[in-house]
Amino acid sequence: MKKIGVYPGTFDPPTNGHIDVALRASHFFDKLIIGIGKNPGKDTLFSPDERREMLEEIFKDHKNIEIRPFQNLLIHFVKECGAMALVRGLRAVSDFEYELQLASFNYHLDDSIETVFFMAREENLFVSSSMIREIAQFGGDVSDRVPGAVWKKLRSRFPVKK
């Protein structure tokens, strides 16, 4: 039986923190599926197709990582993928409380699915997609916090101001 994990998120845009968690998690599973979710409570900068394209470019050399969009309940998506675990990244204490609550509800919905947490590396502790979007929209340089494919896409939307 293949060990499959699902790493869900909106990834709007993908950051170095997301990439780091995905790469580290991919060593624990035969297949890691990065699920690009639609969160009705979030306005996104990039379309699901744009986010998928960026992630596919970033992970093109990683054969056990697959990118899939989804619009249904996360636990249903995980079951559709045949996964045994959810992968989540943790940065600050505030993440922990939210993620613990989410893990508890997911366990309530299906106790056969485990949640596995990966701590952010120090350089990614305070990086979030929303912060990246905001800085980029005002012309700030976030090239050291996102992969090259993401930086290129951000620059096409928002030129860097000096």
Query: What amino acid positions are annotated as catalytic residues?
Result: 18, 42, 91, 129
- Please tell me the distance from the alpha carbon of residue 123 to that of residue 125, in angstroms, as a whole number: 6
In 3D space, the residue among 50, 33, 20 whose CA is nearest the CA of residue 133 turns out to be 50
Give the whole-angstrom CA distance, residue 101 versus residue 79: 20
Buried-state track 92-114, b at ≥16 Cβ within 10 A, e below 16: eeebeeebeeebeebeeeeeebe
In the DSSP assignment, the letter for residue 92 is: S
**Helix residue spans in the chain (DSSP H):** 16-26, 48-58, 74-80, 93-109, 129-137, 148-157
- Phi, psi at residue 36, to the nearest 5°? -90, 105
Q: What is the CA radius of gyration of the chain?
A: 16
